[in-house]
Amino acid sequence: MNFENDRLTRRGFVVLTGATSLSALLAACGGGDGGEAEPAPPAATGAPTDAPAAVTFDPASEPDGPITFFEWAGYDKTSPWMWEAYTKGEYGKRSPLKFDFLENDIQALAKVASGYNPDVIHPCIAYWPDFHAAGLVQPFDTALLPDYEGIPEAIRAPGVGEDGLVYHVPFDIGFSAFVYRADKIPITPEEESWSILLDPAYEGKLATFSDPVTIIKIGALINAGEPIDPNELTSEQIEAAKETMIQAKPQIRNFWDNNQGNIDDFINGNLWGTYMWPDGYLQALRHEKLKDVDVRYMWPKEGRLAWVCGFVLNAATEQPGRATLAVAAANTPEAAASLTDVFAYGAAQQEGVLELIKDKELISIFSLDDPSAFEPPRAWFEQPLPNRQEYTEAGEAVKAA
């Protein structure tokens, strides 16, 4: 495993196993009706009855020059296994890959909408419909994506527009929850809950992710005290969640935006519990400093949070074919297996991947043989939010309080 670099700032881990979990994911991710202040038109509702006109790109006719990915840190040249099928191919030198790093989905959308024009962007499923509604993306030529069918239907269907064309190619999938030290937070698995954030016994010893939507979802789950879909909150629930998370602030050492910094804080004892993705849990679980500590990855009674992220193609790119070939490189079974081995993250591409994963212990560590682990109400996959602006404003108010 290689965790030396400051890896991803918005990533997690899950590999769906079995048709039941895939159906649950499809139901959870649903259609694409995201928006900011106003709901965006539905964009991701699966293929229509009539077959769409095919999209065709000709990489050979496109100009030479770099192809820019607006990416999460870690999915770049430091991970050559992700891009090898492209970089060693016909266009690797004529159109080399360049990487700029995004901070989060909201920032990425705002930057591209303001005129920044990378060739490929890596948003999550809740946000790509906003790019589509703003006219910022175009469909892929799936003939240039030979492994696309290896992504299960339930994972890729939410990336298909109303016109039946593919706008979002999923790459990584995952879930999120608290990692905690059982010696410092002596609770049983049955007592695991997001409400730990309200316990004054842990003042200054907890942390959570800085994303404002996430902050409000956690507050809503605390208020419910049981599983509810945090993607379907009313204005009243959002306001109540904001007040709850303001009450939690004495326990919150920081709202982190640096994944590795958060992990290091936990390993070094500055935190006893913190919102993490599975790469953080794995680092803590296997770190020499914590070898005698009972480190647990919480399964809150209200459910974990989860996500699906992937690639969209900028409508303004002059090299759509070559950019698609670069996306295809990241969508191979070999790259998918390395995603798990290197980062402990799950891949949307699943055809023949499990047998290529070298670290077989991950199967038991992350319950990969338990389909129910990835179904509501145990995990709530994010989806487009027509009232996302309400979530965002409330979450920012929590951080500013």
In tens, the pLDDT along 93-149 reads: 999 999 999 988 889 999 999 999 999 999 998 899 999 999 999 999 999 999 999
Give the pLDDT of residue 315: 98
Residue 8 lies in a domain: no
Q: Can you tell me the distance from the alpha carbon of 324 to that of 355, in angstroms, rounded to the nearest whole number?
A: 26
Q: Can you tell me the distance from the alpha carbon of 381 to that of 231, in angstroms, rounded to the nearest whole number?
A: 9
Residue 285 lies in a domain: yes
Assess whether 194 and 293 both reside in one domain: yes
Give the pLDDT of residue 244: 98
Looking at the predicted structure, is the pLDDT value of residue 73 above 60? yes
Tell me the Cα Rg of the chain: 20
- Of 382 and 215, the structure prediction assigns the larger pLDDT to 215
Give the pLDDT of residue 125: 87
Instruction: Give mean pLDDT, residues 222-246.
Output: 97
Assess whether 310 and 267 both reside in one domain: no
Residues contacting 184, CB < 8 A, separation 6+: 202, 205, 272, 273
Assess whether 367 and 341 both reside in one domain: yes
The answer to whether residues 117 and 316 touch, using CB atoms and an 8 Å cutoff, is yes
Looking at the predicted structure, is the pLDDT value of residue 14 above 50? no
CA dihedral of 232, 71, 112, 98, whole degrees rounded to 10 = -170
Assess whether 42 and 139 both reside in one domain: yes
Q: What residue has token string 């949307």?
A: 348
Looking at the predicted structure, is the pLDDT value of residue 22 above 90? no
- Of 19 and 398, the structure prediction assigns the larger pLDDT to 398
H/E stretch holding 22 reads helix 19-29
In tens, the pLDDT along 215-224 reads: 999 999 999 9
Assess whether 292 and 199 both reside in one domain: yes
User: Which of 141-145, 149-153, 240-244, 391-395 has the weakest average pLDDT?
Assistant: 149-153
Residues contacting 165, CB < 8 A, separation 6+: 52, 55, 139, 140
Q: Which candidate, 242, 249, 246, 241, places its Cα nearest to that of 205?
A: 249
Assess whether 192 and 249 both reside in one domain: yes
Residue 10 lies in a domain: no
The answer to whether residues 194 and 178 touch, using CB atoms and an 8 Å cutoff, is yes
Residue 235 lies in a domain: yes
The answer to whether residues 323 and 67 touch, using CB atoms and an 8 Å cutoff, is yes
Domain that holds residue 210: 175-302+387-400
Assess whether 358 and 276 both reside in one domain: no
Assess whether 333 and 284 both reside in one domain: no
Residue 14 lies in a domain: no
29 — pLDDT class (breaks 50, 70, 90): very low
Assess whether 332 and 319 both reside in one domain: yes
Assess whether 160 and 182 both reside in one domain: no
Give the pLDDT of residue 44: 45
* Total domains in the fold of the chain: 2
Looking at the predicted structure, is the pLDDT value of residue 6 above 50? no
Q: Mean pLDDT score of the chain, rounded to an integer? A: 87
- Of 228 and 106, the structure prediction assigns the larger pLDDT to 228
User: CATH number for the domain including 290?
Assistant: 3.40.190.10
In tens, the pLDDT along 277-332 reads: 988 999 999 999 999 999 999 999 999 998 889 999 999 999 999 999 999 999 99
Give the number of other Cβ atoms within 10 Å of residue 106's Cβ: 18
